[in-house]
Amino acid sequence: MTTQQRDLNPLAYLPPEVAAQIMDIRYLTMACLAGWVWDAVIAVPDEVKMLQRSRMKGPDVVYIGSRMLEFSFLVIAATYCSGHVKNCHAIAVLQGVAASLQIMANSLLFIFRIKAVFFDHRVIRWSFYLFWIAVSASSLTAPITLHAHPLGSTGLCVNSRLDTSVGAASILVAAFDTLVFTSITAKLLSLNRFEGHTSAWRMFLTGKGLGHVSRLILQTGQLYYLITVGATIASSVAILCPSVPTPYADATIPVTGFLTNAMATRVYRQLKLGVYHDGSFSLSECMTSVKFRAPTTNDTDAHCLRCHSRSPESPASPDDLEVGRLNICLFAIFV
């Protein structure tokens, strides 16, 4: 191969094994970026409905921030692995910052669920708030420990091996997701285990026997957890296992970030719109059976308890109880 041909293809200067790894990472990163664009396009109708049905609230700001941070991270990662970069370390630090911030935003979207479901358990809510702070702090190790250097005169960059603290941060994220999922599931099942109704296991597996709100929260949580936690654990193992080549270990970060962000924002939209599968239920429809009482305390969460059935003469059904316990909080927080 002539020098001119090598200049047009910098990978030609590298050993075949290294060049193959770099090409694999390029394809993978570009696929994640294309997947994000595809997901953003198909989400437009739901996002338009979100804006039309309710005013912008705090969770919506976090949702938008999460989407934009993930997009920024993938663009930086694509530039890093395929562009002609002059300052490798600076781009690597930008990658780390974007990755850390999008992890914080993704996790914060589920803190809003915790706030709604455990509206009457201050200790549990604050325990999760502290856990979220721990997750955020651990994710900040990425920009601090990530180092990169130029690959000869090729204009390409290569990372040093990710620090074990990054793998530990991924494990902490998986633990946070697991605890959120199990805690909310246990709470929902405990609220709906009425005598003569479907068993807890059948409720968990099929959603039958649950009211609309509980089913919505449970099934969107299952959707997120089953897809993302496996990817997060696999990423941690790849980072912590020395036998996995460094480029492939590093590549698990954008893949996991893309999957987590896509699923976190997807289930947020479903919960916000009150839609699951056929969209036959909406939170706004639930509110037709609810009447508010005037606030009597300064507790910002106490209003979640100040409601009762529109027909007090009739016996309360599981759905009526859910309206009283969950719908108000969900409506207040998300809508």
- pLDDT, one tens digit per residue, over 95-145 is 889 989 999 999 999 998 888 888 778 899 999 999 999 999 988 888 888
CATH of the domain at 101: 1.20.1070
Mean pLDDT of the 8-32 span: 76
Q: What is the distance of C-alpha 282 from the center of its chain?
A: 22
Distance CA(214)–CA(208), nearest Å, equals 10
Q: Count CB atoms within 10 A of the CB of residue 148.
A: 21
Burial bucket for residue 104 (CB in 10 Å: 0-12, 13-18, 19+):
buried
Residue 18 inside a domain? The answer is no
Let me know: does 269 contact 46? Beta carbons within 8 Å: yes
Structure confidence at residue 238 as a pLDDT band (50, 70, 90): confident
Distance CA(183)–CA(179), nearest Å, equals 6
Residue 135 inside a domain? The answer is yes
Residue 12: per-residue pLDDT: 63
Residue 250: per-residue pLDDT: 82
Q: Which residue has the higher pLDDT, 41 or 12?
A: 41
35 pLDDT exceeds 90? Answer: yes
Instruction: Give me 277's structure tokens.
Output: 């599968």
Distance CA(307)–CA(257), nearest Å, equals 40
Residue 17 inside a domain? The answer is no
Residue 316 inside a domain? The answer is yes
Per-residue H/E/C for the chain: CCHHHHHHCHHHHCCHHHHHHHHHHHHHHHHHHHHHHHHHHHHHHHHHHHHHHCCCCHHHHHHHHHHHHHHHHHHHHHHHHHCCCCCHHHHHHHHHHHHHHHHHHHHHHHHHHHHHHCCCCHHHHHHHHHHHHHHHHHHCHHHHHCCEEECCCCCCEEECCCCHHHHHHHHHHHHHHHHHHHHHHHHHHHHHCCCCCCCHHHHHHHCCCCCHHHHHHHHHHHHHHHHHHHHHHHHHHHHHCCCCCHHHHHHHHHHHHHHHHHHHHHHHHHHHHCCCCCCCCCHHHHHHHEEECCCCCCCCCHHHHCEEECCCCCCCCHHHHHHHHHHHHHHHHHC
Q: Which of 329, 290, 326, 321 is nearest to 197 (CA)?
A: 321
Residue 11 inside a domain? The answer is no
Residue 38: per-residue pLDDT: 94
Q: What is the distance between the terminal CA atoms of the chain, rounded to a whole angstrom?
A: 63
The domain in which residue 96 lies consists of 24-291+299-334
Domain tally, the chain: 1
- pLDDT, one tens digit per residue, over 261-302 is 999 998 888 887 774 333 444 444 444 433 333 334 334 344
Residue 311: per-residue pLDDT: 39
Residue 141 inside a domain? The answer is yes
Residue 131 inside a domain? The answer is yes
Distance CA(181)–CA(64), nearest Å, equals 23
Residue 8 inside a domain? The answer is no
